[in-house]
Structure 1
Amino acid sequence: MMTVNGIPEDYPKKVKIVISNKDFNVVARAYIILTYLLCHDDVLLATENTIHLWYSAFIPESLHSWIRGPLYEYILIESYKFRDQHGFEPNTIERFFSDEITDACSTRMTRELAGISASINLKLAYTDWPYLARYLERDLLREEAISARNAVVACESRLDNRERYLFRQPYAERPCYIRFMEEGILLPMGRPSHDIVKPNVTLFDFSSGVGTWLLDDTRGPERRWSRSEFKKTFPGFAKNDIYGKLFYYLQGIITTFHTRMRTLDIEFSIEHNSLSSLNRCKFDRILLPEEETHSYIVPTGLKRWPGDFLNPHNLKSTIITPCRICPTPGRKMNTNDNRHELVDLLPRYFEIPPWKSPQFPIFDTLDPIKLQLLEFAVPVGYIESLFRIDNCDDYFKGTWERSDVFRKEENTIVEPWPYFPGEKPTLWTASTPELDQDIVFEDRYPAVWYIEWDLCYRYRTPP
C-alpha cells in the first residue's frame, strides 16, 4: 500500500504488482483485502472493514456476509469452471499426469472507472481452487473464537511475559493495550463495537480440525509501524489513545490506496508459491519476506535470484530486505550492560539523580521506578551493531552466488530502522518528553532492520 500511495496520481504508465507467497493464508488474505477494496466504493466503510480484517479478531456482519456470500460464490463458480474445462476432479489420478494445468488456472476481476482499468489476477494451482473455496466458507462460533484466542492471549504460563510487556508502556497508554487484548478489536476509545461480532476466520488456523489463534500474546497492531509517525495523528480528545491514533493513521493510508486503485492503470497479480513463472519478469522494486531473506535458498527453477529480476534499465530499481534479529541465550539484548546509551536519558525522564557509573547498577529491590529501568528497550545503536555483524555486504553470497546485487550506501525508499523516533536532538536543541518516550517505550522484539540493495552499475544498461 505504501508503494502504491507513493506513485504520482498522473503517472501515465501501467503499474503491475505481483504478490507471491508460499503461505496460502497470506495469499488468501491479500486476495480478500484487495478484492474488497476494489469492489466497494464507500471509502469510509471499506477502510474501516479492511482495518478489522487486517488486525481485529472480529469483523462486522456486512464484511462477513460479503466473504461468505458474493466472494465465495464467485470463487466456487470459478472452481467449477476449471473442473468442467479440464474434465476431471481435482484429486484424481489424471490430475497428477497433467502438468499443463498446474499453474494455468487463473481468474481476473476488472473494473473500468473513467477510462482507468484496475484488475486483480489470481493464479492458483488446479488443486488450490477448491481449497480456497473451503477457506472462504469456514465458520466459527463467537464463543469458540473467544475461547481459542484466550487460550493464547490469556495463557497462564505467559502471564509474566505479558505483564513485563505492559509494564514497559507509558501509564496513560496501558488501558488501550488492555482493551485490545481483552476485546481483540482495533477501535478508538469510545467507539462502540456491538456490530463487530463475527470471528475473523483469516486469523485462525483450522489445520488441526478446530480453530486456533495464529498470533502470539504480545503482538499488537502497532508492530512494524513507526510509533513517531502514527503518534502525530489526532484521535480527538483522548490524546493518549495510542490505538486510536494508529486506527486513524491506517485509515488515512488505506483511503489513499483506495483512491489510487481508481486513478491508476493498475494490475495486481496474486500467486501461491509460483516464483518459477516469473523468469521473464523485471521489477523496479522487490520486497522480500523475512523468512526468504534468512533461508539463503534459491527458489526452484530460478537462477541468479533475486538480481536477475531487477529492471536493468531503471537505475533506481531496488531490492528491500527486512532482516530480523531475535533475542537469543547467547546474545542477550535486554541486559544492564547494553543500556549505557540511556544513562543520560533515563534520569532526566524519571527526574532522579544521574549515576556516576557508566552502567546501571543491579537492583535487588521491588521499587517500581527501578524495575522499569530494567525493562527499558535495548538502545537502537546496540541492535544496529548486531545487524552490521550479521548482514554484511556479501549478504547474497553462498547459494545466492552471482546475484550481482550490492548494498546501497544509504536507503532511498524506507527507513533502515522503522522505529527510530524522528530527528535526534542536536547539541543546541533539548530533547522532549515525547521523543524520550518513543525511544524508551518502543516495542523492538523481534528487531527488524530494512536494507536496500541494487544492481552494480556495470550490469545496467542505459534507459
Structure 2
Amino acid sequence: MLCANNQDAAMPCKSPGSLACKKCLLVPYCSKRCQVAHWPIHREDCKSINNWQPSWVEENRVPAFMGSSHTHESYGPNKYLWGNVPAIDVIQLKDNEGVDFKNPLNLLFPASGDMRNVILSLVNLHSHNGPLGIVLNDKEMDIVARNAIFLLTFLVEDDPVIAAEYVLHIWYSALITERCQSFLQNRLRPIVKNVCDKIIHKPASSLLAKTWSFGNASLRLVLSRDKWFSFLSYFDVPEGLTKDTAQRVRQAVMLAPERVDYVHRAMDLKTPAQRLGMFKFRVDGILLPFSHSREEFTVPNPTLFHFTWPIMDSLDPTSGWPLKSFLEFNIGPTKSDIYGKLYHYLRQLFVEFHHRLRAFPVRFELLQVDARSLQLDEKKFDRIDVSNIADVCFLGIDETLKTFGPLLQPTNINRHATLITLFLNAVPEMIMIKEKTMFPPDNMTEQMDKVFRYMPELLQPTTTSMIKIMMAMNLVQDMEGNFNMYTMIYAFNSAALRSGLRMKDTHTIIERWPMRISQELTEQAKEYFALLLSSDHNGQERYVEWSRAV
C-alpha cells in the first residue's frame, strides 16, 4: 500500500503507507507531513463521511420503494456477469474422498456464471495432484467469452502477479490499463483469430472445437462458427467508445436518478466508511484500494462494453466472495477499505490459482448451450454444481434432478459424488404465498423482537430506523419452516425418487444455510448480524446436496 500522497505528478510519494487517516481508515500515509499535504484532496471525502443522509430524508419525502408506484428491485440489463452469492469450494476432499485420494476428479458447472467457484476450489485443492477435468457451460455468450479470456490470461501470461492483476480488472473494472488492453489485443486475440481464419467457410451454426495446451493444462472451447467470430469482439473496444463516453454509459445505469432511493437504502445499511467506498466504486467502476490512483485506467473494458453497460445496478463485486475471507484480509492500516481488501484478497487468490494451474494436469472444457442441451459423451462427474437453476423461475427441482442426476458418478466408483443445488428464492416465495393464501403468515412481532435483540440500537427512533428494521426482518425469517414448506409444495422427495437421487442427510460440501445468523445471541452474533445486514445477502440462501440413491 503506497502513501496516498502520490497524485503530485512532479513529486509523487513512493513510500509505503504505514499510517491511516484516523477519521475514515480508508487512506494510508507514510508520515504526518504527507497527510497534511494530501488533506486538500482528501478533505471532501473525509468530512462527508459522517454527514450523509438518504435523499428522501434530506428532501422530506416518501422514498420511491415505499410509494404507490413502487418498481421492481433490479435496474439495468438482467445479466449476471458477476456472482451474487459467495464463492464456494465444491471439492472439499478432506470431508469427502479424503486427502489421500489419488483418482481423477471431474467437475461440471452446467450453468456456471463467472468461474469464482472453480478458482476457489482449485486454490484449496492442496493434497491432490490430478488429473482434474472441469466442464464450464453457460447459455450466455458474455459469460463463456469472459471465462475463456480469464483462463487464457492465466495460461498465457507466465508472471502470476501480472496475470492476476489483468484478470482482476477484466473481471470487475469498467476501465482497464493500456498495458492490459495491449495484452488482450496482441497476446490473446491472435490465438482466437487463428481459429476464425480456419473456420471461415464452415456453416454458420456448426459446432467447432479448439483445444489449446499449456504444459500440464489445456483449454477446449466449443462454439458455433458464428459465436467464434463473436468471441473476437470481446477483445476490441467498440469504435468511438472513449473513456468518458463509457463512463457516461455506465453511470446512466449505476447513478440513474430514478434509482437514487434504492441505492441510498443500501448505503444507509453500511458504516460511513463502507458507504464511501461503495459510492466511489459506483462512480468510477474500478476495483482498487480507495486511495489508489486511477490515472492509468483509461481504456473501456472490451469484455463488458458493447456500447451498453451490461450489468444491473444492484450487483457488486463484494457479493461474489466469502465475506469473512476478504474482510479479514490484512492490507495494513486502512481497515475500513472494503474494496481495497477485496482487491488484495482477489489478487492473492488469483496468484495462487495461477500456481495451481501449473502444479498438476487440469483440463478445461467451455461450452455455450442451454444447460438442458449439454452433450457430454457419457461423461460422469464427481461434483455437479448447478447454481440456482433448480429455483422455480428456472428449471425447477424435478427437471434439474432428472437432467443432471444421471451425470453423477455411480456409487461403486465414487460414493462421495455430489450434486449441489442452490435456492435463492424459496424462502421469499413461501412468504409471498402465505400473504396471498390461507396459510398462517409468519409472526412479525416475534421477528421485530429478534431484530431488536441483535441490534438494540434500532429501538432508538431515527429518520431511517424503521426502514432498517424492515430490511433487517429479512434476516430473521423462519428459514427452516419456509423451506420445509417449499420442499413439500414442489415434491422434493418424489423428484429425488424419479431421478434415482437422495437428499444427503449430512452436508459435506457447503452448509445448508451458510450465511444464516446464529441463534445464540453472542456479541459475535450481533456483529455478524450487522455485517450481513450491510451486505447484499440476507441469510435465506439455501443449499441442498444430493447423491445417488444406490
Q: CA–CA distance in 1 between the matches of 2:391 and 2:520?
A: 36
- TM-superposed CA distance for 1:373, in Å, is 3.4
2:316 corresponding residue in structure 1: 220
2:454 corresponding residue in structure 1: 345
- TM-superposed CA distance for 1:193, in Å, is 1.7
- TM-superposed CA distance for 1:172, in Å, is 2.7
Distance 1:194 1:447, change over 3 A: farther
Whether the aligned pair in 2 keeps the contact of 1:20 and 1:272 (CA below 8 Å) is yes
Q: CA–CA distance in 2 between the matches of 1:440 and 1:81?
A: 53
Amino acid at match of 1:325: N
> In angstroms, what is the RMSD of aligned CA positions?
3.2
Whether the aligned pair in 2 keeps the contact of 1:339 and 1:379 (CA below 8 Å) is no
2:376 corresponding residue in structure 1: 278
Aligned pairs (5 A) from 1:128-277: 128-139=227-238, 140-204=241-305, 206=306, 211-273=307-369, 275-277=373-375
Q: CA–CA distance in 1 between the matches of 2:539 and 2:300?
A: 28
Distance 1:377 1:241, change over 3 A: farther
Q: CA–CA distance in 1 between the matches of 2:479 and 2:304?
A: 30
Q: CA–CA distance in 2 between the matches of 1:384 and 1:248?
A: 36
* Gaps in structure 2 of 5+ consecutive residues: 1-118, 436-440
**TM-score under structure 2 length normalisation:** 0.68
Q: Can you list the C-alpha shifts for 1:143-172, whole angstroms capped at 9, x where unaligned? A: 221111111111111111111111111223
Whether the aligned pair in 2 keeps the contact of 1:346 and 1:373 (CA below 8 Å) is no
2:46 corresponding residue in structure 1: none
Match of 1:123 among 209, 222, 226: 222
Q: CA–CA distance in 2 between the matches of 1:376 and 1:342?
A: 6
Q: Can you list the C-alpha shifts for 1:186-215, whole angstroms capped at 9, x where unaligned? A: 1112221211221123223x4xxxx22122
Whether the aligned pair in 1 keeps the contact of 2:237 and 2:302 (CA below 8 Å) is yes
1:42 corresponding residue in structure 2: 159
Whether the aligned pair in 2 keeps the contact of 1:14 and 1:266 (CA below 8 Å) is yes
Match of 1:438 among 531, 538, 548: 531
1:99 corresponding residue in structure 2: none
Distance 1:383 1:62, change over 3 A: farther
| Number of residue pairs the alignment of both structures matches | 415
- TM-superposed CA distance for 1:309, in Å, is 0.5
Q: Can you list the C-alpha shifts for 1:105-140, whole angstroms capped at 9, x where unaligned? A: 21122122xxxx111111112332222123433423
Q: Can you list the C-alpha shifts for 1:422-444, whole angstroms capped at 9, x where unaligned? A: xx4857x6447633422432322
Distance 1:136 1:90, change over 3 A: farther
Match of 1:26 among 135, 143, 148: 143
- TM-superposed CA distance for 1:270, in Å, is 0.7
Whether the aligned pair in 1 keeps the contact of 2:458 and 2:465 (CA below 8 Å) is no
Please give the secondary structure, in 2, of the residue aligned with 1:233. coil
Q: CA–CA distance in 1 between the matches of 2:546 and 2:335?
A: 39
- TM-superposed CA distance for 1:28, in Å, is 0.4
Whether the aligned pair in 2 keeps the contact of 1:186 and 1:243 (CA below 8 Å) is yes
**TM-score under structure 1 length normalisation:** 0.80
Q: Greater CA deviation, 433-442 or 405-414?
A: 433-442
Match of 2:188 among 52, 71, 74: 71
Distance 1:285 1:432, change over 3 A: closer
- TM-superposed CA distance for 1:31, in Å, is 0.2
Please give the secondary structure, in 1, of the residue aligned with 2:416. coil
Distance 1:12 1:220, change over 3 A: closer
Q: Can you list the C-alpha shifts for 1:48-92, whole angstroms capped at 9, x where unaligned? A: 221111111112222212222332222111111123xxxx3544x
Please give the secondary structure, in 2, of the residue aligned with 1:2. helix
Whether the aligned pair in 2 keeps the contact of 1:304 and 1:403 (CA below 8 Å) is yes
Match of 1:330 among 432, 442, 459: 432
Please give the secondary structure, in 2, of the residue aligned with 1:151. helix
Please give the secondary structure, in 2, of the residue aligned with 1:148. helix
Distance 1:21 1:432, change over 3 A: closer
Q: Can you list the C-alpha shifts for 1:19-72, whole angstroms capped at 9, x where unaligned? A: 111111111011000110111122222212211111111122222122223322
Whether the aligned pair in 2 keeps the contact of 1:108 and 1:121 (CA below 8 Å) is yes
1:356 corresponding residue in structure 2: none
Q: Is it true that 1:318 corresponds to 2:418 in the alignment?
A: yes
Q: CA–CA distance in 2 between the matches of 1:131 and 1:407?
A: 41
Q: CA–CA distance in 2 between the matches of 1:431 and 1:134?
A: 49
Q: Can you list the C-alpha shifts for 1:389-439, whole angstroms capped at 9, x where unaligned? A: 3245844856x8732122112321123334346xx4857x64476334224
Distance 1:184 1:430, change over 3 A: closer
- TM-superposed CA distance for 1:341, in Å, is 2.3
Q: CA–CA distance in 1 between the matches of 2:229 and 2:398?
A: 26
Amino acid at match of 1:106: A
Whether the aligned pair in 2 keeps the contact of 1:4 and 1:257 (CA below 8 Å) is yes
- TM-superposed CA distance for 1:303, in Å, is 10
Distance 1:336 1:185, change over 3 A: farther
Q: CA–CA distance in 2 between the matches of 1:447 and 1:216?
A: 21
Distance 1:383 1:321, change over 3 A: same
